[in-house]
Amino acid sequence: MPSQLHAQLQALADPASQAMLRTIRRGLEKESLRITAEGKLAQTPHPPGLGSPLTHTSITTDYSEALLEFITPVSTGIEQSLETLEDIHSFAYQQLGNEMLWSASMPCIVSGDDSIPVARYGSSNVARMKTVYRFGLGHRYGRLMQAIAGIHYNFSMPDAYWEQAWNKAGCPGELSDYISTAYLALIRNFRRHSWLLIYLYGASPAICASFLRGRENPGLEPFDAQGRSLHLPFGTALRMGDLGYNSAAQKDLNVCYNCLDNYVETLRSAILSPHPDYRNIPRGQHGDYQQLSDSLLQIENEFYSPIRPKRVTQPGETPLTALHRRGIEYVEVRCVDVSPFSPVGIDAAQMRFLDTFLLFCLLDESPACNDAEQATQSANLEAVVNRGRMPGLLLHTPAGPKPLTECAADLFVGLRQVADLLDSATGSSLHGDTVQQQAAKVADPELTPSARVLREMREKQLPYFRLTMAYSEQWAKYFRERPLEQHLQSVFEEEARRSLAAQRDIEQSDKISFEQYLDGYFAQYRAL
């Protein structure tokens, strides 16, 4: 009997289906630290020429005031998304003065938590909530995490695909439920196999020693005699390990991806359940808000995962409420490192591989997951983060320990088939070419970005900071010299003005207290 993947590929082989595959939708969210000309974290406020980070459609900030986030609109074209991202960079550089953007995930020179300013969004209730949430993160995990950057890759299949698949399945239940079930299957497979993306694209095997000054060292080794850089010799993406978005408090939070209702309920309970570790952080007593609540999660965004189910929210609506009401609309991949070797941290070949990987995860069989398997997935991810390029590294599989190279070879069988389908749809060989390039990295770990970072540090005799600073200066020069078409210049300038006016309108329209605003917001969780 043919496999589910084979059957799905056959079902998409006709011209009409292949036309649909050309309209896969994607969007990019790319984070970049603002730094001084000396390579220190910028202490200046968000540049006013970039508009309001609260209401701007393409330029905002993430956890820190210095952590810019550039957002591309939903697009069916990979090159279009990248060009838009470059345009945003070009405009941003016009507003940065002598500052630059740091070209890697792990940060520049930092001087402890106090050197990392928390993002500010204005005086409105929604703005204050965003800032208080970030204060809470700082108290819970330290602000250093708020200086780590990444790229989020948003992916969704076209509506026509879902209608066709639903009809072929006999129109079971509601279409929105069918879509959610399929996206959850994608997520389960993604979590099973995401270690491969970490191995292939991880670009953070080293850090500046200032990042750990005064903190416990989780087993990193000095790279040079002066101790200016720390690294793991076979590491791939320290951002995805204990240094990055991991939480001891969340270790026991077992989120189920078998059913959307269970996913929503697990996170809802974590948002409404007090956690003893956070009891002593002020949460509004005498007007002192240092966190939104003392629950395990302040809001759902605090749950750290390499991938999330998502839906665009309506004004004031919580993400969980949106998912509960209307189902999953797209998935957000969150494990992509910023590559210092690309102007915007990602390139077209990587995006084609991500499309191939995500479509494979959607089409392949995806059995239900349990807590034991999720623990195995976490162990495999941790192994590849810390030792991914180590010869003979073993991963856990249902059949027992197996070399990473063999596990990867098994996955590449299916990935090549999906790449062939996408190449047939697009009339090119680009997907197959990038799959072959990535397969070569499994055979030769020196071809991985993480190996390249360490090799260049060694050959150029540069610490992590100096190497990344050199790339940051290179890309700063690139974007400062890159011309921006006049009509785009006008569009960005008008959006900056519009966003500032929209922020003022929101501030003037507030009619309730912050306490009332929060109570209304969290009432949505209680009503689920």
HEC assignment per residue over 346-394: CCHHHHHHHHHHHHHHHHCCCCCCCHHHHHHHHHHHHHHHHHCCCCCCE
For the chain, the average pLDDT equals: 95
Q: Would you say 396 and 385 are in contact if contact means Cβ atoms under 8 Å apart?
A: no
pLDDT (mean) for 78-104: 98
Q: What is the pLDDT of residue 72?
A: 98
CB contact set of 497 (below 8 Å; sequence gap of 6+) = 51
Angle at 477 between CA 474 and CA 478, to 5 degrees: 85
Tens of pLDDT, residue by residue over 14-37, are 999 999 999 999 999 999 999 999
**Residue tagged 């969290």 (tokens):** 522
- CATH number of domain containing 82: 3.30.590.20
Domain count, the chain: 1
Q: Domain range holding 299? A: 4-527
d(CA 400, CA 388): 18
Q: Distance between terminal CA atoms of the chain?
A: 42
Q: What is the pLDDT of residue 444?
A: 98
Closest C-alpha among 202, 204, 230 to residue 218: 230
What does each C-alpha distance from 20 to 421, 489, 513 come to in angstroms?
Answer: 12, 33, 48
Percentage of residues in the chain having pLDDT higher than 70 = 99
Between helices 175-201 and 404-426, what is the axis angle to 10°? Answer: 120
Q: What is the pLDDT of residue 1?
A: 46
Percentage of residues in the chain having pLDDT higher than 90 = 90
Check residues 180 and 112 and name the one with the higher pLDDT: 180
Tens of pLDDT, residue by residue over 468-489, are 999 999 999 999 999 999 999 9
- Give the other-Cβ count within 10 Å of 202's Cβ: 30
pLDDT (mean) for 350-356: 98
Closest C-alpha among 411, 410, 384, 385 to residue 395: 384
41 pLDDT more than 80: yes
Q: What is the pLDDT of residue 243?
A: 83
Please give the backbone phi and psi of residue 449, each rounded to the nearest 5 degrees, phi first: -60, -35
Tens of pLDDT, residue by residue over 210-253, are 988 877 777 899 999 888 999 999 999 999 998 876 666 777 78
Tens of pLDDT, residue by residue over 107-161, are 988 888 889 999 999 999 999 999 999 999 999 998 988 899 999 999 999 999 9
CB contact set of 465 (below 8 Å; sequence gap of 6+) = 39, 108, 109, 208, 210, 228, 229
Tens of pLDDT, residue by residue over 46-83, are 999 999 999 999 999 999 999 999 999 999 999 999 99
Closest C-alpha among 366, 364, 360 to residue 420: 360
Please give the backbone phi and psi of residue 129, each rounded to the nearest 5 degrees, phi first: -60, -40
- Polymer length in residues for the chain: 528
Q: By mean pLDDT, which of 107-111, 383-387, 422-426 is the weakest?
A: 107-111
Residue 139, token pair as written in the block: 């108290």
Q: What is the pLDDT of residue 40?
A: 94
d(CA 2, CA 11): 12
DSSP string, 412-466: HHHHHHHHHHHHHHHTSSHHHHHHHHHHHHHH-GGGSHHHHHHHHHHHTT--HHH
